[in-house]
Amino acid sequence: RSWTAGALALSAISQVACQTTAPPAVKLGSGPRDSVVILNDGNAMPLVGLGTVFISPGGIKRAVDQALRSGIRHFDTSPDYRNEAAMGHALERARRRNGVRRDELWITTKLEQEHHRYA
């Protein structure tokens, strides 16, 4: 995998984006739900999230449930973590259990280099 090429491409995209748009606004609050960055399109992305790289599919249910109960609404995953399916099921179960609407969640994933191609 060429992480360097991906980083250079991301850097180039970021430089263009910074030249044409205003910097995002950061709002710090008293808890994980209140601390967000306002993106250029108006969406609010939570600054605090649960990274799932080292959580096994078997442990993800408990981790997601505890995170939602703690106010965390941002979840980071990747196909490489091999827990995305378990995470999806755990999020749906915990979301319903804790009364969290889907539009309150911010889910981040990655697209591996070999999947990048022109349309």
Active site residues: 81
Task: Find the helix packing angle between 84-98 and 60-69, rounded to 10°.
Answer: 40
* Burial (0-12, 13-18, 19+ Cβ within 10 Å), 1: exposed
59 contacts: CB under 8 Å, gap ≥ 6: none
